[in-house]
Amino acid sequence: MKRFVKDDTYHIVYENLHEFFTLTDPTNPPADMYSDNDDERRQLLDSSDGWRYGDEKTKKKYYEVRFDPSKGKTMCAEAVKKTMADGSYKKLIRQALTYRKRIKFEDHGFRLNVSKAISGEDRYFGVYKNSRKPVVKIAINICGSASVNQEAFRKVAQTAIPTIYALETAGISTEVYYTAFVNGCHDCDDEFQYTITHVKIKSAQERFNWTTFAPVFCLGSYRESMFMSWISSKYEVNGGLGRPMDESTIKNKNNYGYTAVIGLNGVGPIDTVNQIFEKIGKKEC
């Protein structure tokens, strides 16, 4: 796990889900946690606080199902099927499978470039090579206000999962992070304003795995573990743990390096894939 401040943003980065859940256990706070944050930590220990757990309703049930892949499969099956069958998506697939070919000139080959040969250049045989396929870095931004219900969070997953499926079906590798972008979470206005927790749940080399993504579908992963990632820091948290970062702020900061940030107010899978393809196209030019 890494924690660092860059510009006006405090970043908390976990390399995988195991590290995330191990280091955000509210029963075992780190030694360097800001002492006054302990009141907030104790609230996370209240097993009767059903507000935190959405469909699961209790801490016990949440702990039982947070690595169960069946919830995610059921929740997203229809959304994935609808996306993959959409005519617009099929058109995007054809586009993705025809990567721009780059030409490189050598002193031998079979495709002669007449103008280069006449001009006396040594390398006048053209060799075409497929451009390298990009890696798309996706943030599933689960940050929402206290009034946001389970259904709203469910829509984030139902956009993110078909998007990842669609990209990988097109042969595009994805690196996926479970994230929360928050404004004013810590009382450190003189040092930073924003806080982001990043949890890597899929590397570019890994295939999509329902078990790995299972915590994304549980509200408790956000309202307990994400909260604890903020509370357990050496900085003092504000009582309300801040508010979701504005989409305009995220865009102005170039998505903090992510190709796409999928959040509560985002567009659907097809539009998201289309926007990603447009970014890929600009890089390839």
> Can you give the pTM of this predicted structure?
0.85
What pLDDT is attached to residue 107? Answer: 60
The residue ranges of the chain whose pLDDT is under 50 are: 99-100, 285
Among 90, 77, 258, smallest CA distance to 157 is for 77
In sequence order, which residues have a C-beta less than 8 Å from that of residue 81 and are 6 or more positions away? none
CA separation for the pair 279, 285 (Å, rounded): 10
Q: Which amino acid is at 117?
A: A
What pLDDT is attached to residue 100? Answer: 46
What pLDDT is attached to residue 113? Answer: 59
Cα angle: 270, vertex 134, 283; to 5 degrees: 85
What pLDDT is attached to residue 122? Answer: 64
What pLDDT is attached to residue 195? Answer: 98
